[in-house]
Chains A and B, each alone.
Chain A
């Protein structure tokens, strides 16, 4: 997360959320140009959860994430130019164009892996926590996942092992209630997702995922426990994705979720909610927000220009990196 000196720390949270929103909207706006030739899973609507969680970490903490990784990557400090270049399939992308939008990582920022198979990165995050424990570091591994990933066996196996070994791991579930078009109620019995931690003797919390401060507080408490060697936690942040599962559009016309439900969440739209909160406490006003927006807009323009003008990877490089050269 980027904060300026002498500014209110909560302004930094707002900037980070606004920045993710604006970047995702820029991707959505330009997707129809057919130059970003890969699936994109946008974080629009989930910014409070994403930013709240990542803001409770420090740079040396690590994050693993999923197909819906843009927000985590940005909130943890991933490089925007390299992200855009990756989505455009360019050599300068974070994966040299080999991964696309579902494979963002930035080792310097501590975003280690994004993996598009549901559940796949969960145990990898536990392994990172194991390595921290083995090296006697007090860093933490945050494992970002969606509600559907809690249905995979590997989620439960990972919780069990992390709890058994008291690993410095944090399972952070963004519960946006949907697996593609399928509602949580058609996939899981009625009970809080966070209850799954009970069976593993693990600390847990379920928070309002559209309240950035509530998320930050819950994650910070879990991070403190993890750093102190008190073991892992499961944090579930209830939130909502506003656009289609994959792609730039709104798809509420398809009728898979009720207008009442969408309206319910629109009233809890995280950015507007935080804006009002900050305004009421005189931390932000329209002029300051306009300034923030202008700066972010410039950064976005720069990143798109960079990506669009960056060279494609050379076809001759196709065979490189199948195996690691032994060091």
Chain B
């Protein structure tokens, strides 16, 4: 076993950058705020002091051009990491990402490579509102040629970032701001994690539960609560949205006959839509109940905390759906109430007891 110690996900990311930059002089970083006192939520703190302003660039507010610039540098063999403090800022660069980064290897018949990593942070809470709290993984997951990942655990933040930096294809690295606060064991050494597929987090025979990003943490609570009501879940963190490798999940659905998918973004046309479609195509005869999806409802997220509270899916909704699917006679009210009581210990719009705004 590699040596590990406890880190928060944001610290784990920082360590990945530091180790990757120390190991490979071609790795450089471009991110608004990368060298400022907050260091992109602590993920880049101290890197400019260590590696210099030529390798840790705090750029002008020019997302579109900088993405193309990173792609050009990558064509010359450099390995850029771009950071967006919110996913939405990457929208200014969609054309560069979709038409250049995602296409160059294919269209050049394999002669060009674009090893760029583009970090995008998904916001939530504290009145962030409609343009600072979107989970837009589907936009990028639709595009062949991109790899799209959503880490959850601190170990995955580090391991998947190292793998993304080492990857010769463009990787969209979607971090959830609320996952930055997770704590867990992280290897000391720079050990890349696999970008090949999901990770199984629990074994069970009654239902297959799959989630992405922050919703893995909500689902985790629901999965342990459901066990008390006689429902044992085979539980997956999807991790890698593209290329989508569903072999383990489909094998699980064939055993459990039930599939529940929880999206971090909108349900309709969501990642869950694709997973349920493939399960229906490839495991139809094993299904004992209609697959279900949970995710965001059909509207932007409003700023008002009262409205936002009824917007998001919680562990209580997940356990309720799991029981509906796998043990309909269970006391769902009580199961819900137990999880809601835990949730209500914190205001709904903050990720952590220490969080006091303003951003």
Binding site for B on A (CB under 8 A): 31-32, 34, 37-40, 89-90, 93, 95-103, 115-120, 148-149, 151-154, 179-182, 186-188, 246-248, 251, 254-256, 312-313, 315, 317-319, 322
Per-residue A-contact encoding for B90-128, CB less than 8 Å = 1, 0 else: 011000000000000000000000000000000000111
B contact patch SS = loop
Give residues 284-303 of B contacting A (CB, 8 Å): 297-299, 302-303
Known: A99-B302, A179-B61. 17 other contacts (CB 8 A): A38-B126, A89-B304, A89-B305, A89-B306, A98-B302, A98-B303, A99-B130, A100-B127, A116-B132, A117-B88, A117-B89, A117-B91, A148-B61, A180-B32, A313-B302, A315-B309, A319-B298
CB neighbours (8 Å) of B36 from chain A are 180-182, 256
| Bound Cα distance from A99 to B304, whole angstroms | 7
CB neighbours (8 Å) of B299 from chain A are 318-319, 322
CB neighbours (8 Å) of B60 from chain A are 148, 151, 179, 187-188
Q: Are A34 and B357 in contact (CB under 8 A)?
A: yes
| Bound Cα distance from A246 to B123, whole angstroms | 16
Distance in Å: Cβ of B196 to nearest Cβ of chain A: 35
Q: Are B61 and A149 in contact (CB under 8 A)?
A: yes
Distance in Å: Cβ of B129 to nearest Cβ of chain A: 5
CB neighbours (8 Å) of A34 from chain B are 356-357
Does B328 have its Cβ within 8 Å of any Cβ on chain A?
Answer: no
Q: Are B359 and A39 in contact (CB under 8 A)?
A: yes
Q: Quick one: given A116-B132, A118-B61, A180-B33, are A39 and B358 in contact (CB under 8 Å)?
A: yes
| Bound Cα distance from A30 to B59, whole angstroms | 34
Q: Are B304 and A313 in contact (CB under 8 A)?
A: yes
Interface core residue of B61, B128, B359 (most chain A CB under 10 Å): B61
A contact patch SS = loop
| Bound Cα distance from A254 to B45, whole angstroms | 13
CB neighbours (8 Å) of A254 from chain B are 37
Q: Quick one: given A40-B358, A181-B37, are A187 and B59 in contact (CB under 8 Å)?
A: yes
Give residues 307-321 of B contacting A (CB, 8 Å): 307, 309-311
| Bound Cα distance from A131 to B354, whole angstroms | 48
Q: Quick one: given A31-B358, A318-B311, are A37 and B37 in contact (CB under 8 Å)?
A: no
Binding site for A on B (CB under 8 A): 32-33, 36-38, 58-65, 88-89, 91-92, 126-132, 297-299, 302-307, 309-311, 347, 349, 356-359
| Bound Cα distance from A101 to B126, whole angstroms | 11
Residue of A nearest to B348 (CB): A37
Q: Which residue of A99, A103, A247, A319 contacts B297 across the interface (Cβ within 8 Å)?
A: A319
Residue of B nearest to A147 (CB): B61
Q: Which residue of A89, A117, A313 contacts B131 across the interface (Cβ within 8 Å)?
A: A117
Q: Are B357 and A31 in contact (CB under 8 A)?
A: yes
| Bound Cα distance from A313 to B298, whole angstroms | 18
| Bound Cα distance from A317 to B359, whole angstroms | 26
Q: Are B65 and A99 in contact (CB under 8 A)?
A: no
| Bound Cα distance from A256 to B58, whole angstroms | 13
CB neighbours (8 Å) of A98 from chain B are 129-130, 302-304, 307
Q: Are B359 and A100 in contact (CB under 8 A)?
A: no
Distance in Å: Cβ of B96 to nearest Cβ of chain A: 11
In order of increasing CB-CB distance, the 9 nearest A-B pairs are A38-B127, A100-B303, A97-B304, A89-B304, A247-B358, A181-B36, A315-B310, A151-B60, A98-B302
Residue of A nearest to B125 (CB): A37
Distance in Å: Cβ of B141 to nearest Cβ of chain A: 22
Distance in Å: Cβ of B114 to nearest Cβ of chain A: 21
| Bound Cα distance from A95 to B357, whole angstroms | 21
CB neighbours (8 Å) of A90 from chain B are 304
Distance in Å: Cβ of B128 to nearest Cβ of chain A: 7
Residue of A nearest to B64 (CB): A153
Q: Which residue of A37, A149, A153 contacts B357 across the interface (Cβ within 8 Å)?
A: A37
Residue of B nearest to A179 (CB): B61
Residue of B nearest to A154 (CB): B92
Q: Quick one: given A39-B357, A102-B129, A180-B32, are A318 and B310 in contact (CB under 8 Å)?
A: yes
Distance in Å: Cβ of A114 to nearest Cβ of chain B: 11
Distance in Å: Cβ of A325 to nearest Cβ of chain B: 15
Interface core residue of A32, A251, A312 (most chain B CB under 10 Å): A312
Q: Are B127 and A37 in contact (CB under 8 A)?
A: yes
| Bound Cα distance from A182 to B62, whole angstroms | 14
Q: Are A97 and B302 in contact (CB under 8 A)?
A: yes
Q: Are B62 and A151 in contact (CB under 8 A)?
A: yes
| 21 A–B pairs (Cβ distance < 8 Å), ordered by A | A34-B357, A37-B126, A37-B127, A37-B357, A38-B126, A38-B128, A97-B303, A97-B307, A98-B130, A98-B302, A98-B304, A99-B130, A100-B304, A118-B89, A148-B60, A152-B61, A181-B36, A246-B359, A312-B304, A313-B307, A315-B307
Q: Are B303 and A103 in contact (CB under 8 A)?
A: yes
Distance in Å: Cβ of A121 to nearest Cβ of chain B: 11
| Bound Cα distance from A179 to B58, whole angstroms | 11
| Bound Cα distance from A117 to B90, whole angstroms | 11
Distance in Å: Cβ of B43 to nearest Cβ of chain A: 15
CB neighbours (8 Å) of B63 from chain A are 152
Q: Are B33 and A181 in contact (CB under 8 A)?
A: yes
| Bound Cα distance from A2 to B61, whole angstroms | 36
CB neighbours (8 Å) of B303 from chain A are 38, 89, 95, 97-100, 103
Q: Are B306 and A97 in contact (CB under 8 A)?
A: yes
Q: Are A116 and B127 in contact (CB under 8 A)?
A: no
Q: Which residue of A93, A119, A149, A322 contacts B298 across the interface (Cβ within 8 Å)?
A: A322
Residue of A nearest to B58 (CB): A182
Interface core residue of A32, A116, A319 (most chain B CB under 10 Å): A116
| Bound Cα distance from A317 to B58, whole angstroms | 41
| Bound Cα distance from A119 to B65, whole angstroms | 14
CB neighbours (8 Å) of B128 from chain A are 38-39
Q: Quick one: given A39-B127, A117-B88, A152-B92, are A318 and B358 in contact (CB under 8 Å)?
A: no
Distance in Å: Cβ of B89 to nearest Cβ of chain A: 7
Residue of A nearest to B349 (CB): A37
CB neighbours (8 Å) of B88 from chain A are 117
Q: Are B61 and A248 in contact (CB under 8 A)?
A: no
CB neighbours (8 Å) of A39 from chain B are 126-128, 132, 357-359
